[in-house]
Amino acid sequence: MSKVICAHYKKECPENLTEKLKAICKKIEPDNISANEPKAINGSNYTTVIMNPVKTVTIYEESVLLGNVLERKDEKPWYLLNSAQPEGAYAIFRNNVDFAELVTDAVASRTIWYYFDKEKFLAATSQRAIILFLESFEFDDGCIPWILSTGSLGPEHSWDKRISRVPPASTIILNKKEWTIKSEKKEILFKPRQRSTSKHQKSLRSIIANTFENIQIDLDNWVLPLSGGYDSRGILYFMLKDKTARTKKP
């Protein structure tokens, strides 16, 4: 899987910034694959580097999308700053001369971490990448109860107490001129509907089928690992059903 790490500076970037970020990407590469060479995007007082860039990573000018968005014609493009979070499963890094934005989907399916101080703003889909950049580690003991009880870091903690997590359905905005950050969160409303179980099932199947229709995956270029669980078998069923429907279309 590809990862992203970016570094913004209030003033001029260090001369070796790109090389440092690429070296970090090399350190966090999995040891069971031959990763592609890191790709750098350089801008005014910032650099973004993608670890193992592949075709599924979308780049538009200075913005990067990991994952997939389901864009409708009436919605603004995913890369447009100061726009709403699109539907999908993703981590988005938006950027222009004046602002940088980190955007998560409704469940933060691809977690983004960030660090901010008086001179730099770091963001990455890897905590380790940020820690390697800072060249120091400050353990967050608030994660201990979560590790002992659930085996996870919990909903907010990181391994390093200086690193923050972008919440689900949220946008972290860096104002480069004022050198401030703020968080905006989209409210997700759950409205119960009184209807029969069969109608709920029909509605759920329709929503899932519509999702696969919009993903537009070329099945000839992908392999789906099957664990045997309901989720992987369900994904296979809907992918094959969608492929059959496309084949039958005139």
For 50-67, write each residue's pLDDT tens digit: 999 998 899 999 999 999
Query: H helices within 37-126, ranges in order?
Result: none
pLDDT value of residue 174: 97
* Amino acid at position 163, single letter: I
* Beta-strand runs (E) in 106-245: 113-116, 120-124, 164-165, 170-175, 180-185
Beta bridge partners of residue 183, listed in sequence order: 172
What's the pLDDT at 74? Answer: 67
| Per-residue DSSP letter, 59 | E
pLDDT lower than 70: segments of the chain? 73-74, 216, 245-250
- Distances in Å between the alpha carbon of 95 and those of 2, 13, 47? 19, 16, 10
> How do residues 106-144 score in pLDDT, each as one tens digit?
988 899 999 999 999 999 999 999 999 999 999 999 999
Contact between 164 and 180 (Cβ < 8 Å):
no
Cβ–Cβ < 8 Å for 87, 76 = no
**CA-CA distance, 67 to 69, in Å (whole number)?**
7
Coil, helix or strand for 91? strand
Residue 73 is predicted with a pLDDT of: 67
Residue 215 tokens read as 């993903």
Q: What is the pLDDT of residue 8?
A: 96
Confidence at residue 165, expressed as pLDDT on a 0 to 100 scale: 95
Q: Could you tell me which residues are beta bridge partners of residue 67? A: 90
Contact status, residue 74 vs residue 55, Cβ threshold 8 Å? no
Q: How far apart are CA 108 and CA 165, in angstroms?
A: 10
